[in-house]
Amino acid sequence: MEYVAVAMAVTSGIQSIQMGKAKGQLYQMQARQATLQAKSDMLKNRAETLNHKKQGIEILENVVRGMAAINARAAAGGIDAFSGSVANYAETQAKKGTVDFFASSENQQLLQAQGQIIEAVGASQAAQYTGAASLAKRQGWINGMQSFMKAGQMGQSSGMFGGSGGSGMVSDGYGGGD
């Protein structure tokens, strides 16, 4: 019966080590997944940043087209395009375009800052999972070694290894029992 208990303790130790390795691999996969998710979020963020940059360029192009249209209409009507109400209208268009352009530019900056945060959070999560993987492996080894020690103690106390113990199953070499 002692042999069965020792064998079970050894088996338990091996399983503990294997479980620790498996948990470590799981955490490593989660670390890779966190890194990939952060990269994916960064690419989405970058695309959004480029969209705001494109909007800013479109705003400036619209201002230029609007100013050209104002000047062309004024010139077609024989009016000085650079004075009076025509100039005021052109200035209003330019101000509105400038405000829109700077709003778009600020959105770009906010998205870039958000991208840096996304990257940092992803790296932090990956580091946490990597640390957990290391701990899981270490704990598996510790549990395994404890089971091996328990098996050794049970074997020793039962006399399986020729030491003191109760069963007398190991010969002392002189023809007698223990």
| Model pLDDT for residues 86-108, shown as the tens digit of each residue | 777 778 888 888 888 888 889 89
Query: Is 71:90 a contact under the CB 8 Å cutoff?
Result: yes
Q: Which residues have CB under 8 Å from 163's CB, separation 6+?
A: 156
| Model pLDDT for residues 132-158, shown as the tens digit of each residue | 999 999 999 999 999 999 988 888 888
* Whole-number pLDDT of residue 142: 93
Q: Which of 35, 36, 38, 20 is nearest to 132 (CA)?
A: 20
Where b means 16+ CB within 10 Å and e means fewer, 28-59 reads bebbeebbeebeebbeebeebbeebeebbeeb
Rounded Cα distance between 115 and 51, Å, is 15
Ordered by start, the domain boundaries in the chain are 2-157
83: left (phi over 0), alpha (psi -120 to 50) or beta: beta
| Model pLDDT for residues 30-86, shown as the tens digit of each residue | 999 999 999 999 999 999 989 988 998 998 898 888 888 888 887 787 777 677 777
Amino acid in position 137:
K
Rounded Cα distance between 20 and 54, Å, is 51
